[in-house]
């Protein structure tokens, strides 16, 4: 198909193998192309693409595979078709916890779900073949661009003004006429008109009967700049798998707690979680009465551990580094670490109470004393009384053997068992069970369990100011993504290239006058309508009025 001989054009220029149109004068080089008179294929100006070679090694073959736009299109098509499959059922990555994919899909969707899971479609976008497709697209982007941009650059950089007659007359936009008078003067005059439309005009030296007018050549580089941006983007995504470059974790913080952010040196404290709902007059009728959140925020403080960070026996030394109210769309950002409002839980949690001990016989009150739900002091001295904490339960219950136990580690129904010593009590002490929550006091009949000691003393809380509880728990999403800046740079390049290539078009007009006979050919990479109107406008200014549509020589609209 490609012949090695005959690459030398009649104008004397030696062309590379695979050249379609002479790089210098534009004359078609291939025999069958010379004999036809259809409009010429002007893609890449007819220069030889790098990969077109006759005797190919394996490397050449791989190279020319990825260099093919046809292959690139196939890759794009396969990618979007397979991407569709991934949206049929939710992906595994949309679930956060308590989720076992091997049973979930079958249970929820039956047989199709089972197949979906077995085919690996439940993690389409992390599968080796999908990533493989993206890698191949990336490769194709690099090789296709490289193979085309360099020859194109060379061709556009050393353009001949006087083109072959056939080259001009076989453009898609053409015009021919007899010109009276001085051809050079006519040409100069026409050139001036084109200059007014923003063209750079090159008139042949000497005779002055050939002309090349060109504008917006830079738009030819648009697609390549776009491709560079896309390659940067893909590389940035790849860089995210470098250890430490990316993190995605969740942390739950009850009001007032300070929690370590696993995998970092930071601790996060939620001073308070606040939620605000829309009032009924702010809502349209059908939404009234529904709790529609207006705003919620976590008043967060970020600490960094400065010493004793990994000693389980000692408390770490923390230093405040940042204070920020985290709202949706306004994360806390510190040194690459980002904390996003993810969710919340409005279930209150009892942290501590400050109860008093009342001596029922004397009416005397002692205390209050501090009683946290977790890790309380084991002994409390209250006036003449001594309380020894003997056992505590977070969610009090009686087990199958009738013995006290706890059902969970959350303070849902806390209970404390003390040995109480003091006036009017046995010297070895008497047991006393205390339920800080009123509901549990009633449910488990505290006074009945305590029997006669209940008549002598009572432990109780005086007023809500002596109760410390977290009203809510905030759930935050912890993120680190060091590749982001590169990603945005890629996106900016890509966008720039797209704009350059789409909103400007490279337009060229060639003219020559031979013995009073004018031929004009014009080429653009997009928007023939605009090309024709440019030519028709300039012609009109030099006194030739035509309908722009008549300039069309048929052929394709590329």
Partner 1 sequence: MGKSRKKIQIVILLAVLILGGYAIGSTFFGKDRTGFLKVGAEPPEFTLADLDGSVRSLAEFKGKPVVVNFWGTFCEPCVREMPEFERQYEKWKDHNLVILAINLSEDTLTVNNFVNRFNLSYPILRDVNRQTERSYGLRQYPTTFFIKPDGTLMEVKVGGMLEKDIEERVERLLQL
Partner 2 sequence: MSLLDFSSDAFMVAFFLYCFAFLFYVIAIAGKKWSNRDPKQHEKRWGRIAFIVSTAGLVAHLTFFFTRWIGGKQIPTSNMYEFMTFLGMAIMIAYTIVYAMYRKPLLGMFAIPLTIIIVAYASVFPQEVQPLIPALNSVWLKVHVTTAALGEAFFAVGFAAGLMYLLRVINFTDKTKQARRAQFWVEFTLYSIIVIVGFIIAVFGFRFAGYEASFTQEKVLIDNKGQDSTIVDTVNYYLPPIVQPYNSQIVEFQSFLGMDKPLFEAPYWMNGVNAGRKLNTVVWSIIAGTLLYGVLRLILRKRLGAAIHPVMEGIDADDLDEISYRAIAIGFPIFTLGGLIFAMIWAEIAWGRFWGWDPKEVWALITWLFYSAYLHFRLSRGWQGLRSAWLAVIGFVIVLFTLIGVNLIIAGLHSYSGV
Distance between alpha carbon 182 and the CA centroid of its chain, in Å?
63
With CB under 8 A as the contact rule, the residue among 53, 90, 258, 274 that binds partner 2 is: 90
Site size with partner 2, rule: CB under 8 A: 67
CA distance 84 to 191: 53
- For 233, the token pair is 């983007």
Q: Residue 218 touches which of partner 2, partner 1, none (CB < 5 to 8 A by kind)?
A: none
Q: Decide: is 69 part of the binding site for partner 2 (CB under 8 A).
A: yes
The nearest distance, CB 153 to partner 2, in angstroms, is 18
The nearest distance, CB 94 to partner 2, in angstroms, is 6
Contact map string, positions 261 to 300, toward partner 1, x by CB under 8 A: -x--------------------------------------
Q: Decide: is 252 part of the binding site for partner 2 (CB under 8 A).
A: no
Q: Decide: is 292 part of the binding site for partner 2 (CB under 8 A).
A: yes
Spell out the SS3 assignment of 393-421.
ECEEEECCCCCEEECCCCCCECEEEEEEE
Q: Decide: is 325 part of the binding site for partner 2 (CB under 8 A).
A: no
Residue among 295 and 361 whose Cβ is closer to partner 2: 295
- Taking only Cα atoms into account, the Rg of the chain, rounded to an integer number of angstroms, comes to 41
Q: Which stretch binds partner 1 (CB under 8 A): 170-178, 307-315, 349-357, 495-503?
A: 307-315
With CB under 8 A as the contact rule, the residue among 35, 55, 98, 286 that binds partner 1 is: 98
Please name every residue paired with 552 in a beta bridge, in sequence order, or none if there are none: 173
Residue among 235 and 283 whose Cβ is closer to partner 1: 235
**Residues of the chain by 3-state class (helix, strand, coil), percent to 5:** 35, 30, 35
Residue among 318 and 518 whose Cβ is closer to partner 1: 318
Four-residue CA torsion sign, 174, 176, 180, 182 = positive
With CB under 8 A as the contact rule, the residue among 59, 81, 111, 464 that binds partner 1 is: 59
- For 239, the token pair is 């860089």
Please name every residue paired with 252 in a beta bridge, in sequence order, or none if there are none: 475
Q: Decide: is 335 part of the binding site for partner 2 (CB under 8 A).
A: no
Residue among 259 and 327 whose Cβ is closer to partner 1: 259
Q: Decide: is 10 part of the binding site for partner 1 (CB under 8 A).
A: no
With CB under 8 A as the contact rule, the residue among 118, 150, 177, 328 that binds partner 2 is: 328
Cα separation values, 296 from 53, 268, 277, 334, 350, Å: 65, 18, 9, 21, 22
- Within 401-430, the residues that bind partner 1 by CB under 8 A are 405-409
Q: Decide: is 526 part of the binding site for partner 2 (CB under 8 A).
A: yes
Cβ pair 406, 395 in contact under 8 A: yes
With CB under 8 A as the contact rule, the residue among 110, 132, 336, 530 that binds partner 1 is: 132
Q: Decide: is 131 part of the binding site for partner 1 (CB under 8 A).
A: yes
Q: Decide: is 76 part of the binding site for partner 2 (CB under 8 A).
A: yes
Q: Decide: is 221 part of the binding site for partner 2 (CB under 8 A).
A: no
Q: Which stretch binds partner 2 (CB under 8 A): 3-11, 31-39, 88-96, 459-467?
A: 88-96
**Where do the H-state alpha helices sit in 158-284?**
165-169, 183-196, 222-239
Contact map string, positions 473 to 502, toward partner 2, x by CB under 8 A: ----x-x-x--x--x---x--xx--xx--x
Q: Decide: is 4 part of the binding site for partner 1 (CB under 8 A).
A: no
Q: Where are the beta strands (DSSP E) in 255-348?
A: 258-260, 266-277, 293-307, 317-327, 332-334, 337-345
Contact map string, positions 209 to 248, toward partner 1, x by CB under 8 A: --------------------------x--x--x-------
What residue has token string 């291939």? 30
Residue among 446 and 525 whose Cβ is closer to partner 2: 525
Cα separation values, 160 from 25, 165, 213, Å: 6, 13, 11
- For 134, the token pair is 């993206």
The nearest distance, CB 515 to partner 2, in angstroms, is 33
Cβ pair 75, 137 in contact under 8 A: yes
The answer to whether the bond into 267 is cis (omega within 30° of 0) is no
Residue among 120 and 423 whose Cβ is closer to partner 2: 120
Cα separation values, 192 from 185, 211, 542, Å: 11, 11, 10
Checking 26-33 for CB contacts under 8 A at 24+ apart, the result is 26/160, 26/163, 26/164, 26/166, 26/167, 26/168, 27/164, 27/166, 27/167, 28/166, 28/167, 28/170
Maximum Cα interatomic distance, the chain, rounded to a whole number of Å: 134
CA distance 353 to 373: 8
Q: Decide: is 108 part of the binding site for partner 1 (CB under 8 A).
A: no
Contact map string, positions 124 to 143, toward partner 2, x by CB under 8 A: xx------------------
Q: DSSP letter at 28?
A: B
Cβ pair 440, 425 in contact under 8 A: no
**Exposed (0-12), middle (13-18) or buried (19+): which is 196, by Cβ within 10 Å?**
exposed
Contact map string, positions 32 to 51, toward partner 1, x by CB under 8 A: ------------------x-
Residue among 71 and 238 whose Cβ is closer to partner 1: 238
Residue among 90 and 208 whose Cβ is closer to partner 2: 90
Exposure string of 13-48, with b = 16+ CB inside 10 Å and e = fewer, is eebeebbbbbbbbbbbbbeebeeeeebbebebbbbb
Cα separation values, 432 from 114, 370, 449, 453, Å: 57, 17, 8, 7
With CB under 8 A as the contact rule, the residue among 1, 35, 70, 243 that binds partner 2 is: 70
Q: Decide: is 111 part of the binding site for partner 1 (CB under 8 A).
A: no
Residues at the contact surface with partner 2, assessed by CB under 8 A: 43, 69-70, 72-73, 76-77, 79-80, 83-84, 86-91, 93-94, 98, 108-110, 112, 124-125, 248, 278, 282-287, 292-296, 327-329, 331, 338, 340, 477, 479, 481, 484, 487, 491, 494-495, 498-499, 502-503, 525-529, 549, 552, 556-558
State the residues that interact with partner 1 by CB under 8 A. Answer: 50, 59-60, 62-63, 92-93, 97-101, 123, 126-128, 131-132, 134-136, 138-139, 142-143, 146, 235, 238, 241, 259-260, 262, 310-313, 374-376, 378, 389, 391-395, 399, 405-409
């Amino acid at each position: 198909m490609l012949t090695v001989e005959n690459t030398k054009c009649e104008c004397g220029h030696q062309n590379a193998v695979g050249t379609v149109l002479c790089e210098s004068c534009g004359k078609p080089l291939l025999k069958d192309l010379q004999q036809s008179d259809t409009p010429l294929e002007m893609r890449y100006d007819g220069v030889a693409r790098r990969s077109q070679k006759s005797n190919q090694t394996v490397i050449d073959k791989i190279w020319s595979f990825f260099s093919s736009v046809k292959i690139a299109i196939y890759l794009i098509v396969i990618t979007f078709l397979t991407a569709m499959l991934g949206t049929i059922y939710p992906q595994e990555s949309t679930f956060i916890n308590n989720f076992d994919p091997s049973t979930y899909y079958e249970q929820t969707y039956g047989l199709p779900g089972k197949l979906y899971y077995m085919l690996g479609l439940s993690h389409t976008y992390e599968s080796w073949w999908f990533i493989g497709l993206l890698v191949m697209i990336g490769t194709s982007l690099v090789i296709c661009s490289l193979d085309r941009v360099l020859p194109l650059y060379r061709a556009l950089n050393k353009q001949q003004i006087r083109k072959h007659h056939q080259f001009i007359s076989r453009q898609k936009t053409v015009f021919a006429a007899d010109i009276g008078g001085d051809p050079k003067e006519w040409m100069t005059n026409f050139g001036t008109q084109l200059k007014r439309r923003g063209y750079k005009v090159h008139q042949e030296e000497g005779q002055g009967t050939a002309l090349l007018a060109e504008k917006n050549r830079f738009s030819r580089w648009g697609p390549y700049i776009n491709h560079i941006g896309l390659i940067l983007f893909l590389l940035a995504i790849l860089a995210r798998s470098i250890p430490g470059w990316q993190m995605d974790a969740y942390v739950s913080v009850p009001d007032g707690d300070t929690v370590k952010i696993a995998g970092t040196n930071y601790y996060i404290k939620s001073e308070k979680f606040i939620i605000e709902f829309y009032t009924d007059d702010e809502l349209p009728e059908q939404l009234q009465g529904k709790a529609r959140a207006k705003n919620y925020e976590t008043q967060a403080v970020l600490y960094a551990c400065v010493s004793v960070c990994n000693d389980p026996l000692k408390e770490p030394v923390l230093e405040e580094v940042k204070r920020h109210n985290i709202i949706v769309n306004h994360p806390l950002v510190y040194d690459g670490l980002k904390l996003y409002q993810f969710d919340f839980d409005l279930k209150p949690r009892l942290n501590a109470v400050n109860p008093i001990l009342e001596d029922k016989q004397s009416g005397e009150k002692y205390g209050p004393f501090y009683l946290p739900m977790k890790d309380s002091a084991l002994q409390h001295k209250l006036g003449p009384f001594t309380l020894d904490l003997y056992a505590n339960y977070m969610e009090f219950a009686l087990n199958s053997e009738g013995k006290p136990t706890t059902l969970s580690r959350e303070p849902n129904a806390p209970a404390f068992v003390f040995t109480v010593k003091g006036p009017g009590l046995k010297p070895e002490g008497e047991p006393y069970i205390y339920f800080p929550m009123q509901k549990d006091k009633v449910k488990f009949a505290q006074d009945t369990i305590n029997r006669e000691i209940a008549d002598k003393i009572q432990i109780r809380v005086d007023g809500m100011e002596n109760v410390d509880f977290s009203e809510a728990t905030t759930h935050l999403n912890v993120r680190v993504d060091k590749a982001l800046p590169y990603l945005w740079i890629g996106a900016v390049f890509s966008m720039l290239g797209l704009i350059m290539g789409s909103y400007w078009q490279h337009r060229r007009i060639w003219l020559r006058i031979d013995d009073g006979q004018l031929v004009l050919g014009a080429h653009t990479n997009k928007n023939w309508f605009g090309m024709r109107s440019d030519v028709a406008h300039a012609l009109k200014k030099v006194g030739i009025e035509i309908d722009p549509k008549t300039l069309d020589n048929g052929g394709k609209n590329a």
